[in-house]
């Protein structure tokens, strides 16, 4: 699948750590969509059996806009997200937990 980026002049929420003015990356019939993110941690975990797992933690809010320069149709508070698949050791679980705690701290700041 080809990734598209549609430039915009719309501002990001203050907590977003993506480059200012990052574009919309999806377009459907009704809206342009982009994801604002922060506190993103990506871990590659190799299990004792040698299997690789990718874990991503962060906070995210999806913005839907009617057109490239607005109006914004929907932009809610961010959520903490965890994208993980696999079996983990206690060491790995603590790495994931630390990333989640960091994301929770940033979420607290972003939703005050």
Where along the sequence are the contacts to Zn ion (CB under 5 A)?
Answer: 12, 16, 18, 36
Instruction: Specify the 3-state DSSP secondary structure of 57.
Output: strand
What gap in Å lies between CA 90 and CA 97, rounded to an integer? 10
Q: Which is nearer to Zn ion, 73 or 84 (by Cβ)? A: 73
The C-alpha torsion from 33 through 39 and 110 to 18, rounded to 10°, is -40
**How far apart are CB 34 and Zn ion at their closest, in Å?**
7
Question: Residue 12 belongs to what H/E stretch?
Answer: none
**How far apart are CB 106 and Zn ion at their closest, in Å?**
14
Q: Which is nearer to Zn ion, 19 or 50 (by Cβ)? A: 19
Q: Which is nearer to Zn ion, 8 or 102 (by Cβ)? A: 8
**How far apart are CB 95 and Zn ion at their closest, in Å?**
26
Q: Which is nearer to Zn ion, 16 or 59 (by Cβ)? A: 16
Please, which residues have CB within 8 angstroms of residue 45's CB and are 6 or more apart in sequence? 52, 53, 54, 55, 86, 88, 92, 95
**How far apart are CB 52 and Zn ion at their closest, in Å?**
29
């Amino acid at each position: 699948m080809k990734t598209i980026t549609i430039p915009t002049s719309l501002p990001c929420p203050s907590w977003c750590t993506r480059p200012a003015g990052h574009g919309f990356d999806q377009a459907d019939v009704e809206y342009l969509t982009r994801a604002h993110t922060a506190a993103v941690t990506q871990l590659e975990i190799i299990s004792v059996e040698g299997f690789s797992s990718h874990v991503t933690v962060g906070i995210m809010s999806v913005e839907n806009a009617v057109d490239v320069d607005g109006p914004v149709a929907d932009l809610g508070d961010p959520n903490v997200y965890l994208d993980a698949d696999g079996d983990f050791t206690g060491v790995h679980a603590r790495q994931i937990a630390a990333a989640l705690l960091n994301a929770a701290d940033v979420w607290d700041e972003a939703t005050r």
